[in-house]
């Protein structure tokens, strides 16, 4: 059995009606010159997806480097067990993170993912807590994050059932600012506006309920499911939704900041200077206090993942790459920064 080492993962590119060609700016190869691509799944291990999301089948990232080249992330997790996660995995469980890049050339549907209560009571409905890190945005681009405090459940329901475009005005609209990060607890009604490119870190689910689709036809809508699991003003969880972190871009001189802390994962942004050598072990700690695996997502620039005492062979990364570092080597991992490095570090809680 090979010893744990950092895994480079092959992206899985998906066409979307709202997508474009901006994923090419992250080094992604888009198969069809005339198609619109909205998602690049950078790290995925799902035995099934929803029919209205990724089509219903399994999606599992394949490994692009080292002795496990050609195997899947699921294979590696099964092989390495607690050396991968920092805790013993459940039998036949999926990897507990899903990481994507999203190119919203057009508005995404206004949608919601199951609230904890709804997910617990509904078969095949899975919690999806996520965060968006805004990589680039067109001037005037917006994101939509939650229902306005002055909108009641009944008012929103009437707009949703009528397919009224005024439903968008019932949402909290925020400017899409590159470098900002937005946390969206499951149950938050939300949408990416047109002209936004984001990195998304989330729990491994694509259970999505659409409530408004900007006049597009032919896609399934889920009005009643949305109304059952959305978080409304005055209801439990709404104050948490409003408090969910929106972290601004790093200020000059800052090299790291914590963007998101959830029950499932943490996300840090790293912007070290060229030539800096950063020990990553202090950030790779789960809520059990033990070392945890983490993903490094390169937003811009380049770097090298190395190890003290040469525990593993160095791995070179550039803009758009994602690497997964198993828990067994997390504490010995070092980041050697190149020029203009900007990276996200997503750690399993």
Q: Which residues are catalytic?
A: 210
Compute the distance between CA of residue 125 and CA of residue 134 in angstroms, rounded to an integer: 27
Compute the distance between CA of residue 233 and CA of residue 171 in angstroms, rounded to an integer: 11
Compute the distance between CA of residue 1 and CA of residue 185 in angstroms, rounded to an integer: 38
Compute the distance between CA of residue 194 and CA of residue 185 in angstroms, rounded to an integer: 22
Contact 205, 54 (CB under 8 A): no
Contact 163, 156 (CB under 8 A): no
Compute the distance between CA of residue 206 and CA of residue 125 in angstroms, rounded to an integer: 9
Q: Give the burial class of 319: count Cβ atoms within 10 A of its Cβ; 0-12 exposed, 13-18 middle, 19 or more buried.
A: middle
Compute the distance between CA of residue 226 and CA of residue 224 in angstroms, rounded to an integer: 5
Q: Which residues contact 44 (CB under 8 A, 6 or more apart)?
A: 12, 59, 60, 61, 73, 95, 98, 99, 100, 204
Q: Which residues contact 130 (CB under 8 A, 6 or more apart)?
A: 113, 184, 186, 200, 201, 202, 203
Q: Which residues contact 63 (CB under 8 A, 6 or more apart)?
A: 7, 8, 9, 10, 69, 70, 71, 72, 73, 75, 76
Structure-token match 């506006």, residue found? 193
């Amino acid at each position: 059995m090979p010893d744990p080492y950092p895994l480079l993962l092959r992206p899985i590119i998906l066409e979307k009606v709202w997508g474009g060609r901006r994923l090419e700016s992250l080094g992604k190869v888009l198969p069809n010159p005339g198609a619109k691509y909205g998602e690049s799944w950078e790290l995925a291990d799902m035995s099934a997806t929803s029919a209205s999301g990724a089509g219903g089948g399994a999606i599992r990232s394949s490994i692009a480097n080292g002795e496990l080249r050609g195997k899947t992330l699921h294979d590696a997790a099964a092989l390495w067990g607690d050396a991968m996660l920092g805790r013993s995995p459940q039998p036949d469980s999926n990897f507990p993170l899903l990481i994507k890049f999203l190119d919203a050339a057009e508005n995404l549907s206004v949608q919601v993912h199951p609230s904890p209560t709804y997910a617990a009571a509904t078969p095949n409905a899975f919690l999806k807590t996520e965060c968006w890190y805004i990589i680039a945005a067109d001037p005037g681009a917006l994101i939509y994050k939650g229902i306005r405090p002055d909108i009641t459940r009944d008012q929103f329901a009437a707009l949703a059932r009528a397919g009224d475009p005024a439903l968008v005005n019932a949402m909290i609209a925020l400017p899409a600012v590159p470098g900002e990060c937005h946390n969206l607890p499951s149950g938050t009604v939300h949408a990416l506006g047109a002209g936004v490119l984001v990195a998304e870190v989330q729990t491994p689910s694509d259970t999505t309920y659409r409530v408004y689709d900007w006049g597009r036809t032919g896609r399934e809508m889920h009005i009643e499911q949305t109304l059952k699991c959305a978080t409304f003003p005055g209801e439990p969880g709404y104050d948490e939704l409003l408090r969910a972190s929106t972290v601004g871009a790093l200020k000059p001189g800052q090299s790291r900041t914590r963007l998101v802390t959830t029950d499932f994962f943490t996300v840090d942004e790293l912007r070290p200077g060229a030539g800096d050598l950063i020990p990553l072990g202090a950030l790779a700690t789960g809520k059990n206090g033990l070392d945890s695996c983490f993903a490094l997502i390169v937003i811009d620039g380049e770097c090298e993942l190395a190890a003290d005492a040469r525990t593993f062979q160095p791995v070179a990364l550039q803009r758009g790459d994602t690497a997964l570092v198993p828990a067994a080597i997390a504490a010995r991992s070092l980041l050697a920064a190149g020029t203009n490095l900007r990276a996200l570090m997503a750690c399993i809680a």
